[in-house]
Amino acid sequence: MGRQDELLKERLRKIDELRKKGINPYPYSYDKKDSSAQLQKEHEKLKPEQHSKSTAKIAGRLMSFRDMGKIAFGSIQDETGKIQIVLQEPDTSEKVSEFFKKYIDLGDFVGIEGTVFRTKRGELSILAKKADILSKSLQALPDKWHGLEDKEERYRKRHLDLIMSPEVKQVLDKREKILDAIREFLKSKGFNEVDTPYLQAVYGGAAARPFKTHLNALDIDLYLAISPELYLKRLIIGGYEKVFTIAHNFRNEGIDRWHNPEFTMMEIYQAYADYNDMMELMEDLYVCAAKKVNGSTKINFRGKDIDFKKPWARMTMAEAIKKYAKIDVEKMSAKELFDVIEEHKVEKKGNTWGWAVQSLFEHFCESHLEQPTFIIDHPLETTPLCKLHRNDKLCRLIERFEPFCMGAELGNAYSELNDPVMQKKLLEEQQAMLKKGNEEANPYDEDFVNALEVGMPPTGGIGIGIDRMVMLLTGQDSIRDVLLFPFMRPETKPESKLEVKAGQKKETRGGKNDRSDNKK
């Protein structure tokens, strides 16, 4: 019998004994009065060996316990932190001490009631007078010194990660503060928060491959949302002037430190605005969130000092390529650009001048964009939802920008296309590309085009990656560190010896994620 089996057997025995004594090892509730952080704050002036006149009633998980005979020490962890408990006669009765030492194990949830004091070494503690079992744990916690060392295991067993690594919860608590700051900021500016559907008959609003599902009730195929954009524009058409949503998007693409198949995106639309207004809004949002969670616009990310203060640098895509690749795309034909692409073995995105420019930018420039930078004025081909650039006589550019920081795209914004004739033409072209096998092309959305024909005012729109914002503002290297439950490949159990053919290499563990350099 292995150690885990022995531990399980022993704890099941204790559960059986407790029930025979009329004690429920899984009671329905507990009247918790205090938290560890609250007690620490209320008694911060308590001196060593000084006892408070107040009593405390706490509940949490037993994380450590040392029995030294006449005195025993333990630590209880609740949502706010840890606090020490002490069992010592005569304050702790022999009955309570015996019960605790006989039936309570590390990992159990317990309720402790007693007086507050500070030990000789200065540790705020509760001198236990009463102890209750609240939930009997059947599995042992990871070793307190090593915890969960395997990153994959930490993400897969987030419950254990949260128990053993308090800093994980601190990051996720900061995420909540960032979202609170964003909502507070936008609502102070008159924006309405709205919801959009996740299940859609026609997906759209981004260049991405969707997840497909089926609705049995109507016997129709549906798609998980890749973007809320086309629904938010319907609201602008309907009379809203400032709207935003914080929504989950689902894109059937690669997984890496910046990408998760399910992620959180905020999209904002403002009537009578353009992409210049969206740049200011982006700057203001980041400054607000950074100050809210860090007290400063400055952060350190992967050893680099970053500052989100206004104004952020601005470069056209052509200027960025000229700076970092020493290539002047504005003076070159499509053929000349593709010669350069072939020479440098650049991944080709398409067969036009615009796609050549996009390909060169991604290859030569993105990794250099460490400080917050707006890359503006993109090629026409890169989206069917954006206005032509007002100052480009060649009609090759659109009023689009992407903000970058530490080599990662943080968002996407346009002066939104509101010409229904042009929009219809562009979406029809996208539909043709989709039929030819381009899985990231937009399908034709007749309902959206019909809505646009009713009339949409000039509008600025922006999508901001919330997960990437949280990564930067909390200094986390992977998107999986800022998601409570990142997607993980399901574990594969080792095959039995009978199922493994002679001479065949046996797979001993699963759990490795697919990796790709997928951008969007």
Q: Are 82 and 64 in contact (CB under 8 A)?
A: no
CA dihedral 221, 456, 398, 376 (to 10 degrees): -100
Calculate the alpha carbon distances from 229 to 264, 380, 414, 430, 488 in Å. 14, 19, 11, 16, 28
Per-residue pLDDT for 341 more than 80?
yes
d(CA 328, CA 318): 7
Closest CA relative to residue 260, chosen from 512, 462, 469, 467 = 467
Pairing of the two strands 262-271 and 408-409 = unpaired
Per-residue pLDDT for 179 more than 90?
yes
For the stretch 500-515, pLDDT in tens is 443 444 333 333 333 3
Per-residue pLDDT, averaged over 319-339, amounts to 97
493 pLDDT band, cuts 50/70/90, is: low
Q: Which pLDDT score is estimated for 276? A: 98
For the stretch 397-435, pLDDT in tens is 999 999 999 999 999 999 999 999 999 999 999 999 999
The three state secondary structure string of 202-267 is CCCCCCCCCCEEEECCCCEEEEECCCCHHHHHHHHHHCCCEEEEEEEEECCCCCECCECCEEEEEE
189-225 CB burial, b ≥16 within 10 A, e <16: eebeeeebeeebeebbbbbbbbbeeeeeeeeeebbbb
Tokens of 233: 């524009």
User: What does residue 65 show for φ and ψ, rounded to 5 degrees?
Assistant: -160, 130
Per-residue pLDDT for 29 more than 80?
yes
For the stretch 271-309, pLDDT in tens is 999 999 999 999 999 999 999 999 999 999 999 999 999
Weakest-pLDDT range from 151-155, 324-328, 466-470, 513-517: 513-517
Q: Which pLDDT score is estimated for 503? A: 40
Tokens of 188: 């102070």
d(CA 75, CA 40): 14
d(CA 509, CA 516): 21
Q: Which pLDDT score is estimated for 298? A: 97
Q: Are 287 and 293 in contact (CB under 8 A)?
A: no
516 pLDDT band, cuts 50/70/90, is: very low
Computed from CA positions of residues 196, 198, 202, 203, in that sequence, does the dihedral angle turn out positive or negative? positive
Q: Which amino acid is at 145?
A: W
For the stretch 118-148, pLDDT in tens is 999 999 999 999 999 999 999 988 875 455 6
Q: Which pLDDT score is estimated for 496? A: 44
3-state secondary structure of 84: strand
Per-residue pLDDT for 95 more than 90?
yes
Q: Which pLDDT score is estimated for 246? A: 98
Average predicted confidence (pLDDT) for the chain: 92
In the chain, helix, strand, coil percent, each to 5? 35, 25, 40
pLDDT above 70 covers a percentage of the chain that reads 93
Calculate the alpha carbon distances from 116 to 57, 138, 369 in Å. 10, 30, 54
Q: Are 101 and 72 in contact (CB under 8 A)?
A: yes
Query: Is the pLDDT higher at 152 or at 12?
Result: 12
Q: Are 60 and 109 in contact (CB under 8 A)?
A: yes
Q: Which pLDDT score is estimated for 515? A: 31
The three state secondary structure string of 160-189 is HHHHHCHHHHHHHHHHHHHHHHHHHHHHHC
Q: Which pLDDT score is estimated for 510? A: 33
pLDDT above 90 covers a percentage of the chain that reads 87
Q: Which pLDDT score is estimated for 448? A: 97
**pTM of the predicted structure, to 2 decimals:** 0.88
Domains detected in the chain? 3-141 (2.40.50.140), 164-312+371-481 (3.30.930.10)
For the stretch 350-405, pLDDT in tens is 999 999 999 999 999 999 999 999 999 999 999 999 999 999 999 999 999 999 99
Q: Which pLDDT score is estimated for 494? A: 55
